[in-house]
Structure formats: structure tokens, C-alpha cells
Amino acid sequence: MKDGAKDEGAARRTGTVARRWAADLAMLVLISLLMGFLGPFGSDRLPAAGRYLYWLICMTGGGLIGIALDEALIRRVPDAWRRTAAVAILITPLVTILVMATEALLFGGRFDLVGFARLIWQVGPICLAVMAVRVLVWRRTPARIETRTVIAPPLPEAEAAFRRRLSAKRREARLIAIEAHDHYLKVHTDAGAELIAMRFGDALAELAQAHGWRVHRSWWVAADAVEGVRWRRGVGEMQLAGGLAAPVSRTYGPRLKEAGWF
């Protein structure tokens, strides 16, 4: 089973690489046809068939050289734009030789240092442009991830000890949040709020198994009462049921991040 899974994974990776190279090749062919149509650098004076063949060899061959080097450097230079600049500089002399050889083969051009010096300043910008187009084609757009936190209903016994401290009116109400005020707690419910004499730490201990989070040094909120979270410049704010807002400190922010709120 393990060997089969490895083989399947390797086959998928091979297929992905093959598709990527095929897409790169198609892109280079399209650029070659465009250059053949435009006929830059005086190539418009050449016969149509020879012009398109010239650009197809130069652009496709030079592009494949650049792509191969880019793939080889991807781990050493992870930043795409820096790698593109480096690749363009490194391949320019080699691609210039390719262009000179193509000119000599198709049109009897000069294959010497004079021709090299003439062409390298034309080849360099084209190499850079082609590699930059490839970066844009494969650029990963930031994924927009929408998360929804599914909250299981609290266990009846999880809040039972704490609820017994509330008045009869709010003992069965929906618990929204607890706010510490010195030696008192302000308990927010959907039936209103009330003050009880209790330390915040003791309340947290009684609610340890309840579905909720401590989000600030003086706030605990019930998970199913959270309607939204805003985070800005290292601090946050929670929108709770009933229009209540609770602060979120930098210390407790990671808990909400793990829960998928931002």
C-alpha cells in the first residue's frame, strides 16, 4: 500500500511538471509568433517564413534555457523577481550565441565578436521581458479563504457550577461573556447583565470545560456568541451577540486565529 501511494504521488508530481513545461513551451511559441508578426530589429525585411522560423528558434530556445536555469535556482533564490533578474543576466551571453548561430545558419550572418557585441544589448532586455512574463503567468494570487467555525453546544455540566451563581432570571439564559471588575464579575447574558462577587480566575476555572475563550486579561467570551472579529495593529475586537463588543489582546489573539476567526 505504501509503495503504491508513493508511486501514485510521484506520478502526479511528474504529470504536474510535464503540464507546467508544456504551458511554458506554449507561451514561448506564442511570443515567437508575436515577434515574427511584429518583425522588430529589422527582421521585418526578411521573408515571412524565414522570419517566423528565426524568432521561433531564438525565443523558444532562449526561453527554455532561461526556464531550466530558473527551475535550478528556485530553492537558492526563492524570491521570483530577484531570481528573474539573475536568470536574465546569466543567460544573456548564451542566448546571444544562440541568436548569432541562428542568423549564421539561416541568413549567413556574422559569427564573431563584433556580432556578439551588437546583439547582446538587444538580447538582454528580451530575456528579461520573457522571464518577467513567465513570472506574471505563474504568479499565485492571494487565496481568499472563508472560514466558518462550527461550535458544538456546550455540555450541560460545563457551565452548571457557574450558572448557579446567577439570579434565577439569568440562570437559564444564554451566556455571552464575562467581564472582570476588580473583585466582581459582570456577566453578560441575552437576558441582561448582572454583577456577582467572584474572582475572574475562579470563574475561568469553573468554565474550563465550557465552549469559550479568554480573549483579554479581563474578558471571557462564549464561543457561540461571537459574530465577528476585527484585528488591526496588534489588537482586536470581537462583536458579540446583543451588540456587545469585547477587546482582544495580542496575548490571546492566536487562540482565535487557530479557531479560524482571522
Question: Which set of grid coordinates corresponds to residue 11?
Answer: 506520478
What integer pLDDT is reported at residue 34 of this predicted model?
92
Predicted pLDDT at 155? 56
- Residue 154 has a pLDDT of 52
Whether 107 and 168 have beta carbons less than 8 Å apart is answered as no
pLDDT at 11: 52
Residue corresponding to grid cell 535550478: 72
Question: pTM of the full predicted structure?
Answer: 0.49
Q: Domain spanning 156-258 has what CATH number? A: 2.40.50.1020
Phi and psi based region of residue 182 (left: phi greater than 0; alpha: psi -120 to 50; beta: remaining)? left
- Measured CA to CA, the distance from residue 116 to residue 128 in angstroms comes to 18
Cell numbers at residue 76, please?
537558492
Cα within 13 Å of Cα(22), Cβ side: 6
pLDDT tens series, the chain, 262 aa: 445 444 544 555 566 677 888 888 999 999 999 998 998 888 888 889 989 999 999 999 999 999 999 988 888 888 888 999 999 999 999 999 999 999 888 888 778 888 898 889 999 999 999 999 988 888 754 444 444 444 455 555 778 888 889 998 888 888 999 999 888 999 999 999 999 999 999 999 998 888 888 989 999 999 888 888 887 766 788 889 888 999 888 888 877 777 666 5
- Give the CA angle between residues 53, 44, 85 to the nearest 5°: 70
Q: What b/e string do you get for 111-120 counting C-beta neighbours within 10 Å, with b at 16 or more?
A: eeeebbeebb
Torsion sign (Cα): 162, 164, 169, 173: positive
Specify the residue for cell string 450558572: 163
Domain ranges of the chain: 2-138, 156-258
* Euclidean distance between CA atoms 46 and 48, whole angstroms: 6
Residue 182 confidence (pLDDT): 82
- Rounded Cα–Cα distance for residues 186 and 178 (Å): 6
Q: In the chain, helix, strand, coil percent, each to 5?
A: 55, 20, 25
Q: Which residues contact 34 (CB under 8 A, 6 or more apart)?
A: none
